[in-house]
Amino acid sequence: MSNLTQRLSFLDRYLTAWICGAIALGVLLGRFVPQVPMVLGRMSVGDTIVPIAVGLIVMMYPPLAKVRYEELGRLLRQPRLVALSVLQNWVLGPALMFGLAVVFLPDHPDYMVGLIIVGLARCIAMVLVWNELASGDREACAGLVAANSLFQIVCFAPLAWLYVEWLPLQLGLPASSIDISMGDIAGTTAVYLGIPFLAGFLSRYVLVRLKGREWYETRFTPRISPLTLVALLLTIVVMFALQGDRIVSAPVDVLRIAAPLCLYFGLMYAISMWSAKASGASYAQSATLSLTAASNNFELAIAVAIASFGITSGQAFAAVVGPLVEVPVLLVLVRIALAARQRWTS
């Protein structure tokens, strides 16, 4: 495992530690600096804390600016990979997370919905790192990331309405008491995904033509990458400053949210790897498909949960647990993929 972590960037290598530190700082501020809620209240418009809203948009920009949208054409020449990826990411993933959330958190509809939102946010950033570590297919991964970025624009809002509002109501689940409309979800998605998507796409389109692809990918994107972590950590600090008492009084809730997440990542990886191999895909293609399906876009999940339900909501809390769990679990899955590669070739 140490060899794998050494290949990660410094920021990515200690992402779990950064998040834990931000949580601790937020809890301490909430306990010992009671002025924090008042200051944030002065910077609010309605239920929206303006600095946090801006931070959430900034947080989404670097991952979307890194997407190689031009790889979509090459990916379309591999219809089998496209079909498997769509099935795994947009049918299996959301349905599996919905089922796990219902089974593990029936008495916490807010946490349940937070997990469902995590399942709907397909990975468009960190999967590039996991794929590289696992020696996956780089071109296929770039194409799948580009495809998932476009699919999220189209599919996220209707799927969120289906799994958060309509299906719980049909099943008589407690989550049906949550009052959120299709319009609310679509508006949130348009702001927190649409704006950074447009900015990211235009950045790549314009700057690659002006400065070249090598400059863009070796100079520009590394400079903007830290924006995601900074915005994420500031959001977590504020969120836990506002609900520090809740966290201190209910640490078991973190474990209850983490359990279905661990199971989700493991099951998505195993099912996707098996289905890819059964379809005749190579190891590199199978690793790319399975890691793409197993990882999630926690930045989008956090942004949507906060914008839709509030920064002190249980939904936002559950979404934040996502990256806390995902990083160490995906490192384990990368190690499993590399072990599978040795057996595959032999």
Question: Is residue 346 assigned to a domain?
Answer: no
Residue type, 277: K
Number of domains in the chain: 1
Per-residue pLDDT, 176: 47
Identify the CA nearest to 241 among candidates 26, 51, 21, 24: 26
pLDDT in tens, 243-286: 666 666 677 898 999 999 999 999 999 999 999 999 988 999 99
In the structure encoding, which two tokens stand for residue 278, read together?
């059964």
Give the domain CATH number at 192. Answer: 1.20.1530.20
Per-residue pLDDT, 184: 72
Question: Is residue 262 assigned to a domain?
Answer: yes
Question: Is residue 226 assigned to a domain?
Answer: yes
Question: Residues 130, 133, 136, 141: is their CA dihedral positive or negative?
Answer: positive
pLDDT in tens, 34-47: 787 778 777 777 66
pLDDT in tens, 154-210: 889 899 989 988 898 888 886 544 556 667 777 777 888 889 999 999 999 999 999
Cβ distance 262 to 292 under 8 Å?
A: no
Q: Is 341 exposed, middle or buried (0-12, 13-18, 19+ CB in 10 A)?
A: middle
Per-residue pLDDT, 175: 55
Distance of alpha carbon 135 from alpha carbon 287, whole angstroms: 8
> In a 3-state reduction of DSSP, which class is residue 322?
helix
pLDDT of 152 above 60: yes
Cβ distance 231 to 11 under 8 Å?
A: no
Of all residues in the chain, the percent with pLDDT exceeding 70 is 91
The domain in which residue 63 lies consists of 2-341
pLDDT of 219 above 50: yes
pLDDT of 2 above 60: no
Distance of alpha carbon 285 from alpha carbon 269, whole angstroms: 13
